[in-house]
């Protein structure tokens, strides 16, 4: 996100547009936490995880009164357009805000889950899967040395992208995704088959959004059916932080640049994404409501390679 903030600020300044940071998202907009930015203010931030302008989930912005306060603060600073980094909630709020107060917003897809329609990749996804693969590589050493089965849970509340890409990248023995569930019996079968070919350790990636439960729950149910050494590891919020990968920095720079250029070209209520390596502006209504699911061919490939 910091690389996106840097790109937005520097592109705006290039076009002689005064630019402000609104701290803590819609919460800060309501509270009037708005500060002007210069080029130097966004130096030395792109290698940092998180966001230097902070973020918050805002309940107040869900109310008309809250949005009115936000508008009053923008008016004070003569702010007439916004660049918002976020996902469904952020873009839904921006659309309502435009209908009520006419503020034009362009969105940048920022979620590690990669589940936004209108872009091949979202900000943070590449960093998250690199962190997860690195963690699974380390877990693999214990799994291999001790002949253990590990269920490793990765993030992705409603989406299996992190699970699928981590599973492929770490050579997992099975991947459990909300989009491709496996029954407990199927998992037991996989473990029995790998034991038959003398593979006594295994790594199974579980996306947190799995409908059979998280890694703990699934591991418990498997253990009830087959007596083997099973461990669980939950990678959790490690995936949401740390220095972003070069790929994420590049993506963020391109999207930040495209957001400002898009606003200048008259686009608003759209998300600046990248599809097939080209900048695409997708209406918020589509980005919010259209589903983006992992490619079934990739899921099939992962199954075959995991054998």
Q: Which is nearer to ligand F6P, 112 or 219 (CB)?
A: 112
Establish if 240 lies at the interface with ligand F6P (CB under 6 A): yes
- Please, are residues 218 and 187 in contact by the beta-carbon 8 Å criterion? yes
- The torsion angles phi and psi of 107, rounded to 5 degrees, stand at -105, 150
Q: Select from 66, 13, 15, 3 the least CA-distant residue to 36.
A: 13
Min separation Cβ 262 and ligand F6P, Å? 24
Stretch that binds ligand F6P, among 111-119, 182-190, 274-282, 294-302 (CB under 6 A): 111-119
Q: How far is the CB of 123 from ligand F6P (least distance, A)?
A: 11
Q: How far is the CB of 84 from ligand F6P (least distance, A)?
A: 16
State which of positions 113-142 bind ligand F6P (CB under 6 A): 113
Q: Which is nearer to ligand F6P, 73 or 88 (CB)?
A: 88
User: Which one, 111 or 269, has the nearer CB to ligand F6P?
Assistant: 111
Name residues whose C-beta falls within 8 Å of residue 125's C-beta, 6 or more positions apart in sequence.
111, 112, 113, 114, 161, 162, 165, 248
Report, as residue numbers or ranges, the catalytic residues: 113
Write the binding mask 70 to 109 for ligand F6P: x where contact by CB under 6 A, - elsewhere.
----------------------------------------
Nearer to ligand F6P, 112 or 205 (CB): 112
Residue 155 contacts ligand F6P per CB under 6 A = yes
Contact string 170-209 vs ligand F6P (x = CB under 6 A): --------------------------------------x-
CB of 142 to ligand F6P, least distance (A): 25
State the Cα–Cα distance between residues 33 and 284, nearest whole angstrom.
25
Residue 156 in the binding site for ligand F6P (CB under 6 A): yes
Residues forming a β-bridge with 151? 204, 232
Give the whole-angstrom CA distance, residue 154 versus residue 152.
7
Binding residue (CB under 6 A) for ligand F6P from 11, 105, 111, 253: 111
Does residue 189 contact residue 159 with C-beta atoms inside 8 Å?
A: no
Angle at 52 between CA 8 and CA 81, to 5 degrees: 35
Residue 112 makes contact with ligand F6P by CB under 6 A: yes
Site string for ligand F6P, 16-55 (x = CB under 6 A): ----------------------------------------
Q: How far is CA 7 from CA 39, 251, 299, in A?
A: 10, 10, 34
Q: Where are the alpha helices (DSSP H) in 226-279?
A: 246-264
To the nearest whole angstrom, how small is the minimum distance from the Cβ of residue 246 to ligand F6P? Answer: 21
Alpha-carbon distances, residue 207 vs 149, 291, 292 (angstroms): 17, 18, 16
C-beta of 157: minimal distance to ligand F6P in Å?
A: 4
Which residue, 86 or 273, has its beta carbon nearer to ligand F6P? Answer: 86
Which is closer to ligand F6P, CB of 132 or CB of 258? 132
Comparing CA positions, the residue from 146, 112, 106, 109 lying closest to residue 11 is: 106
Measure the CA–CA gap between 270 and 26, rounded to whole angstroms: 18
- Residue 27: count of CB within 10 angstroms of its CB: 20
Residue 247 backbone phi and psi in degrees, to 5:
-60, -45
Binding site for ligand F6P (CB under 6 A): 111-113, 155-157, 208, 240
């Amino acid at each position: 996100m910091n690389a996106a903030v840097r790109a937005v600020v520097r592109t705006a300044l290039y076009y002689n547009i005064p630019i402000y940071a609104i701290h803590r998202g819609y919460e800060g907009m309501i509270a009037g936490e708005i500060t002007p930015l210069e080029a130097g203010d966004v130096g030395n931030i792109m290698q940092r995880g998180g966001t230097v302008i902070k973020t918050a989930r805002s309940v107040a912005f869900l109310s008309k009164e809250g949005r009115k306060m936000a508008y009053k603060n923008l008016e004070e600073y003569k702010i007439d357009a916004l660049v918002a980094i976020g996902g469904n909630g952020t873009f839904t709020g921006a659309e309502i805000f435009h209908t009520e107060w006419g503020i034009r917003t362009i969105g940048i897809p920022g979620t590690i889950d990669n589940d936004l329609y209108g872009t091949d990749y979202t900000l943070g996804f590449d960093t998250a899967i690199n962190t997860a693969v690195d963690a699974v590589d380390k877990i693999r050493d214990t799994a291999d040395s001790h002949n253990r089965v590990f269920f490793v849970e990765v993030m992705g509340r409603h989406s299996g992208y992190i699970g699928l890409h981590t599973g492929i990248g770490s050579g997992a023995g099975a991947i459990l995704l909300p989009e491709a569930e496996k029954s407990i019996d199927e998992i037991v079968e996989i473990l029995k088959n790998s034991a038959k070919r003398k593979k006594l350790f295994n790594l199974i990636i579980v996306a947190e959004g799995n409908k059979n439960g998280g890694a703990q729950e699934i591991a418990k149910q498997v253990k009830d059916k087959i007596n083997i050494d099973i461990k669980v590891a939950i990678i959790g919020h490690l995936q949401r932080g740390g220095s972003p990968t070069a790929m994420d920095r590049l993506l963020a720079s391109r999207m930040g640049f495209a957001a400002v250029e898009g606003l200048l070209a008259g686009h608003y209520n759209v998300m600046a994404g990248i599809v097939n390596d080209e900048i695409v502006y997708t209406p918020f209504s589509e980005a919010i409501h259209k589903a983006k699911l992992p490619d079934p061919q990739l899921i099939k490939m992962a199954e075959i390679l995991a054998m």
